[in-house]
Amino acid sequence: MQAWTCWATCRSRRCGRPFARPSRSSGRVLRRTIWIPRRMGSRPPWPRPEESEKLPVYADPTEGVTVQAPLLRAWTVALLEKIGTPGDIAADVAEILVSADRRGIASHGTARLPSYVALVEAGVMDPAARPRVDRERAALARIDANNGWGHHASRFAIDWAIERARSTGSATAIVHNSNHYGIAGWYALRAAEAGMIGFSVTNASPLVAPTRALRALLGTNPIAIAAPAGHFGAFCLDMATSTVPVGRIEVAKRRGESLPVGWAIGADGRPATTPDEAQAGALLPLGGLEETAGYKGYGLSLAVDILSGVLGDATFGPNIIGLFRPEAPSDLGHAFWVIDPAAFEEPGAFEQRLERLLDQLVAADTVPDAPGRVLIPGEPEAEAERRSDARGITIDAQHHASLVELAEANGVAFPDISPNG
């Protein structure tokens, strides 16, 4: 519990405590021996019950407020500048966070600002750090985020890959020494907006138990793939490699609901049927239990960690410090790939064929009682984005309260809002 005492202290001021970087393979300390994280597994990688009630995500939006995206973006920039983030970096971070809110992915938007600010106050993330290319060869680059904003370093990386792919046909950029980067889909969509195919993956702190394992050893390790798709705008698959996100467990706990078999396991390794059991154990990979092919999700999660953490020389697997815990830097790894279809044929030909394929899918006959036609991955988020731009972004009551508290603590007035309903 020592770390949680430090967390409470660090939220109000920098704790100034030095830290060491654990070995990416064994947990031993590299380069300097100052501080070593406590033994893995000494505490489940979940929020404590009293913290879970305060999480500003997955709440009922009808109880919240509405704020216009430009105002929320400008306020976020001002807040980030107040804690030491240069203006151009703050603009990148704000753009990506507000994009998540606009697309209805509140768990990865401005709701995370209190956690980010706490990391800066604890001295374990450098808000002014700038990424640099530390290794480069033709269409490949490894980028050091210098323990700065994952969003800014990742935008730098995907832009490098897009620009390089214009001349080489494809490019790969890998980021290490980084932090949480928000929604994976933003970076893949940036390539799609440039007429290219984009891939984005990242590793994360361990919340998922590999098939047959008793405890969490891998992250939810998301995958995003996007491509230009004619009148559909873009195809955008953005998914975690776990069966459900941790927020679904938190919602079930608040509502007093039981859990379906296949979402999580308890501390004893058996299927969790209550949120308390799940919070004492681990999430299951996509597919759930072994008999329902959960090993496929486990393989996907591991592949993401190999490509982003292991290949990128970042921390990986069970060695990753919790994303929003102030003991030491997360040292996350991200990986990006860009393919320019115009390298294979005339520009636009690929997009036309993809549009034709998607037209065939949405025209498919549906099963009885289907709520509508077949959807294309990314369509619900794109519709949420259009709705947010027209009517404003819906922020639930807990999310709004956390931002107002943050605004007051840092002397940056929160923008005007209107109640929902």
* pTM of this structure: 0.84
Characterise 380 by phi-psi region: left (phi > 0), alpha (psi -120 to 50), beta (else). Answer: alpha
DSSP notation for 86-150: -HHHHHHHHHHHHHHHHTT-GGGTGGGHHHHHHHHHTTSS-TT---EEEEEETTEEEEE-TT--H
Contact 119, 201 (CB under 8 A): no
Contact (Cβ atoms closer than 8 angstroms) between residue 289 and residue 261: yes
In this structure, what DSSP letter does residue 266 have? Answer: -
DSSP string, 153-186: HHHHHHHHHHHHHHHHSEEEEEEEEE-----HHH
Crossing angle of helices 69-82 and 397-410, in 10° steps, is 40
Alpha-carbon torsion 225, 226, 227, 232, what sign?
positive
**Strand order across the 393-395 sheet:** 393-395, 65-67, 418-419
Q: Quick one: pLDDT at residue 37?
A: 31
CATH class, domain 2-125+392-419, is mainly alpha
DSSP letter at 367?
-
Please say whether the dihedral angle defined by the alpha carbons of residues 211, 213, 218 and 219, taken in this order, is positive or negative.
Answer: positive
In CATH terms, is domain 132-343 a member of 3.30.1370.60?
yes
Pick from 73, 138, 36, 377: which is nearest to 239 by CA? Answer: 377
In which residue ranges of the chain is CATH 1.10.1530.10 found? 2-125+392-419
Residue 52's pLDDT is what? Answer: 33
As beta bridge partners, residue 218 has: 208
**Residues of each domain in the chain carrying CATH 3.30.1370.60:** 132-343
* Chain position carrying tokens 């949420």: 384
Q: What are the structure tokens assigned to 357, written together?
A: 């394929």
Q: How many CA atoms lie within 13 A of 366 on its CB side?
A: 10
Three-state DSSP at 275 gives: helix
Residue given tokens 């809002």 in the structure block: 417
**pLDDT by 10s per residue, the chain, length 421:** 333 333 232 333 333 333 334 344 433 333 322 222 333 333 333 333 333 333 333 334 446 799 999 999 999 999 999 999 999 999 999 999 999 999 999 889 999 999 999 999 999 999 999 999 999 999 999 999 999 999 999 999 999 999 999 999 999 999 999 999 999 999 999 999 999 999 999 999 999 999 999 999 999 999 999 999 999 999 999 999 999 888 788 778 877 899 999 999 999 999 999 999 999 999 999 999 999 999 999 999 999 999 999 999 999 999 998 777 888 899 999 999 999 999 999 999 999 999 999 999 999 999 999 999 999 999 999 999 999 999 999 998 888 999 999 999 999 999 877 776 5
